[in-house]
Amino acid sequence: MPTAAENQIASEAKVLQSYLGGKWQSGEGEGADLVNPCDGTMRARASSKGLDLKAALEYSRNVGGPALRKLSFAQRAELLGKIADALAARRDEWFEISRRNSGNTKTDAAIDVDGAIGTVKFFAKLGGKLGDAHLLCDGGPTRLARDANFQGMHLGVPLEGVAVHINAFNFPAWGLWEKAAVSLLAGVPVLAKPATSTAWLAQEMVSAVIEAGILPPGGLSILCGSPNDLLEHLRLGDVIAFTGSADTGEGIRQHPRVRQHNIRVNIEADSLNAALLGPDAAPGTPAFDFFVREVVREMTLKTGQKCTAIRRVLVPSEHAAAATEAIATALSKVVVGNPANPAVTMGPVVNMAQRKSVEDGVRRLMEQTEIAYHPPSFAPVDASAEAGAFVPPTLLKARSGSESELVHELEVFGPVATVVPYCDKQDAFALARRGGGSLAASVFSGDGEFLAEAARELGTTHGRILLVDPSIGDSHTGHGIVMPSLMHGGPGRAGGGEELGGLNGLWFYHQRTAVQGSAATLAALVAQAADPRAE
């Protein structure tokens, strides 16, 4: 029987309000539809038309910022702990919204929801170690002249603006809170702009925190609907953290207001991530089996809608047939359908537009590849293949790693990956680098020297490298899982940004300034500061 919360969620479509300027506000008109991707039924609407975004930003700067900066790091960390508790108390509700608006299975929802709560808890605990400090320092004072009393140091001062967080549709919970946790700990108020198609969950979570009265007024705002003229009202001291497509990210960077005021921008964009099977990892070895399992998991978790998902499967040419067969066999056991059925292991993509994008992308890739696995007949469980945004897991195989250029240029954001054979290890490294900058790469091998070499060879073009030998085959957290203690981002095509990374993430929300003065003066500043590297 459905719970009371489920019955409420199942009622007529919800109108998503924005929380701006310390109050809930509705946009004009009907706005955009948010749907259940399993059947296309409308679940909510969101409009931001007519909202005064200039006033909203000013309120966050003038009210939220000063209130947050009055608190020490430890006090702000305590607020994060309360946020995590408030979110955890309604975990089942978040899971249900994830299913109804994002088509998530319970496993998919856990990655998003539990990942969000866990990240906030992580920064609450970590931030508490910074104590009563209000500033950051990068090491202690150093002598600058013959007079030992004349010294210098680098100090971090919290920015006096707003953190505008523009998030992607695939992680409405984690995408919101992994950014907000660091910004709030730094003392910078947040204005979150979730992707409209899945904004329901983000809006409900923000509402829970606002209702609990945890943060000072102006500390947290949310804009549901189009961004409209939001960027037009940014100024020095504001920051933008964006997750989404490379094209949209570039549009933000090139926005006249952003360029004129040199607004600080962090971009985490699309990425052609690779999994690399070492030359030693022949069929039947543990490394081979762990490799196959991870590729299948990354293709199907969140229906392949993860910025870190494996898109290119690099295998030694002599093992390409065996690897392809093993992956295809595992994919044939994936159950696609309505996540309300507990037997389903993979749900739909986010909406019909995304389904079309995936289908079009597969057709383009097939110009230079061939189908290695696609179910002979496709009928999603407890759902309509026509009405729902379902696509089956699809494995392609490149005829040649060096000649199939599209494989290294076109990302299909869904349950699709391509097997790419390589000749030798240098060819493998070169193919991995052809992604033009990626968020993550995973390397599977029983050869420690090869793994170490892979880290060196791929380090300049990848933000994170997972080196899997059999000793951690069952214990590592996964190719696509972002850990709050480690940096998330990547060079080149991946956006060139850095998020998280433990307390190092605080620097994005601080101005690093060189300070010179007497030993006594600098000592007084050190007494107000904490060094993230020392924690």
Q: How far apart are CA 197 and CA 159, in angstroms?
A: 31
Extract the tokens encoding 161: 């603006």
Give the span between the Cα atoms of 229 and 240, in whole angstroms: 14
Neighbours of 192 (CB within 10 A): 29
Distance, CA of 500 to CA of 484 (rounded, Å)? 5
8 Å CB contact between 390 and 428? no
DSSP state of 486: S
**Closest of 118, 126, 181 to residue 481, by C-alpha:** 118
Closest Cα partner for 533 from 511, 508, 502?
502
Contacts of residue 394, defined as CB under 8 A and 6 or more positions apart, other chains included, come to 362, 371, 373, 374, 415, 416
Pick from 201, 244, 246: which is nearest to 108 by CA? 201
- Dist. CA 429–CA 433, nearest whole Å: 6
205 to 64, 210, 240, 258: CA distances (angstroms)? 19, 9, 21, 29
224 catalytic? Reply is no
Q: Exposure string (b/e) for 2-13, b if CB count within 10 Å is 16 or more?
A: eeeeeeebeeee
Long-range contacts from 256-262, C-beta under 8 angstroms, 24+ separation: 257/231, 257/232, 257/233, 258/231, 258/234, 261/234, 261/235, 261/236, 262/236
* Paired strand residues for 443: 276, 467
What b/e readout covers 278-309, taking b as 16+ CB neighbours within 10 angstroms? bbebeeebbbbbbbbbbbbbbbbbbbbbbbbb
Catalytic residue, from 93, 96, 178, 268: name it.
268
Cα 111 from Cα 185, distance rounded (Å): 23
How far apart are the C-alpha atoms of 316 and 445, rounded to whole Å? 12
State whether residue 50 is helix, strand or coil: coil
Check 224, 298, 307, 411 and give the catalytic one: 307
Could you tell me how far CA 243 lies from the centroid of its own chain?
7
Active site residue 307: yes
Give the residue numbers annotated as catalytic, written as ranges. 268, 307
